[in-house]
Structure formats: C-alpha cells, structure tokens
Amino acid sequence: MKIETLSVFPHCYDSIMNESIMKRAQDKGFLDFYAYDLRDWTHDKHRTTDDEPYGGGQGLVMKCEPIFEATDDIFARYETKPYVIFLSPTGTRFDDAKSVELAQKDHLFFICGHYEGIDERAYTLADEVLSIGDYVLTSGELASMVIIDAVVRRIDGVLGDEGSAVDESFYDGLLEYPQYTRPAHYRGMDVPEVLLSGHHANIAAWRRKQSLLRTKQWRPDLLESANLTPEEKDFLEL
C-alpha cells in the first residue's frame, strides 16, 4: 500500500513512521509512505499557506490554491488517482470497520488542515472526510497518524501473527478480554487459573465471557450491533 500526506508540517510524521510497526511495515515492503510539504507549492517569499477568513473572525484559514496546485502536480505522476481523505471534526466518525475498508485501498492520500480550517473549496478534492472524535486538534496531522496506524495494522502480513488483529478490541464488535503475562502471582494478584491450565477450549470460553462482560461494563452501546448468540444475550441479560 502507498500512503501519502500533504501538510504544512510534514516532519510531524518522522517519529511515528520510523518506529515500531510502521517502520517494520515499510522495511518489509508492505507500506510505501511519503509526507509532502504544502509550502513547496507556494509562490511568495514567506511560503504562505494561510490567510484571514472572509467575513471576519478569529484565526487563519488555509488557502485552497496551494492544495489544488499540489494535488494537480502529485496526482499527475500516477496512472490512477489516489483515494483522498481530509480530516475534520465534521467528517464521518472513524472506526475499526473503516480501518479494514481503507486497508483494501492501494493508495491513500491524506490532506491535513491546520489553523482554523481549510478553505471550503478544497474539499471538492475529497473522496471522504473523516473524524477521529468530537473534539478539535491543533492539526490534521495528528488525526491522520491515528488513522494511518489503524489502517496499516490491517494490511495482511504487517503484524506477522495474523491472530493478533483478530483478537484485538472491536474486531468482532466487542472489547478485548483481559491479558496477563509472567509472573503468575504478584503483590497478591493472581492470573486466572484457567489461563494456566493449557486447556484451549476453556481458555477460549473464558476470554469470550470476559470480552462480553467488559463490553457491557465499559461500552454497552457496542452490544447493540455485536453478533451475539441467544445464550450470550441471556448471559448478559439483554
């Protein structure tokens, strides 16, 4: 998969994309990542990407001209236009299902805003506008990093152990069960005996039960769309 970003602070990605799973995905050839600097498509000595909003108001708005010029230039290099994503609190809420969907794309292109937002005309370039939550961030770079991380983890082969993604929270609509590792006993807190038993069927049943209970306690809203058996619904008293 190829993922590219366009922003006024491309070096924001240096840390996240050069550590851990993101770095390994690139080293193994699963991911081709590049961050473009929007200022490269400005034409004044100050490399200006923003201006005061029409109609007055606080802050600055990102200009549409450099965004259009950048995408004209970059997209002309490819036979097929990438899938363009803008980040905005007004967008569709990003979730695990969307990460799976985006992981099937060959080429994602994130356009990241800053300041008080982006000139509305630039949004005509978007294939999709996404939000990672009902709050405001300093920049779209931060939101794009969250989405990129979630998407890259869903690319086949990236995690190595295919079961890793299957067992994570939200994969089946529920929160993940509790996890433990050595030591088995620590400060009066013991690992559940079933996990030490080596009985795989019993372990799987315990984990499913704990996943159900944790979801009911912390995210009961998820149970409305979860794929539950009649027995599980009775267990949860739904």
- What CATH number did the domain enclosing 119 receive? 3.40.1280.10
Residues 55-80 as b or e (16 or more Cβ within 10 Å = b) = eeeeebbbbbbbbbebbeebeeeeee
194 located within any domain: yes
Give me the mean pLDDT over the 97-105 stretch.
97
**End residue of a domain, out of 152, 176, 210:** 152
- Domain residues for 67? 2-152
Q: Which two tokens stand for residue 94?
A: 């990003």
Strands 61-62 and 50-51: antiparallel
Tokens of 73: 């230039």
Q: Do 105 and 201 belong together in one domain?
A: no
79: which residues sit within 8 A by CB, 6+ positions away? none
The last residue of one of the domains, among 152, 176, 195, is: 152
Give residue-wise pLDDT tens across range 204-213. 999 999 999 9
Residues 20 and 135 in one domain: yes
Residue 167 pLDDT > 90: no
Q: Output the pTM of the full model.
A: 0.88
Q: In the predicted model, is pLDDT for residue 136 greater than 90?
A: no
Q: Does the residue 6 lie in any domain?
A: yes
Q: How confident is the model at residue 116 (pLDDT cuts 50, 70, 90)?
A: confident
- Residue 160 belongs to a domain: no
Nearest C-alpha neighbor of 150 from the set 101, 115, 198, 187: 101
Q: Which region, left, alpha or beta, applies to residue 155 given φ > 0 means left and ψ of -120 to 50 means alpha?
A: beta
Look at residue 115 in the predicted model and tell me its pLDDT. Answer: 73
Q: How many domains does the chain have?
A: 2
Q: What is the pLDDT of residue 49?
A: 96
**Mean pLDDT of the residues in the chain:** 93
How is residue 99 written in tokens? 């990460």
**Are residues 143 and 189 located together in one domain of the fold?**
no
Domain boundary among 152, 186, 211: 152
Do both 127 and 199 map to the same domain?
no
On whether both 147 and 172 belong to a single domain, the answer is no
User: Does residue 161 lie within any of the structural domains?
Assistant: no
pLDDT at 165 over 90: no
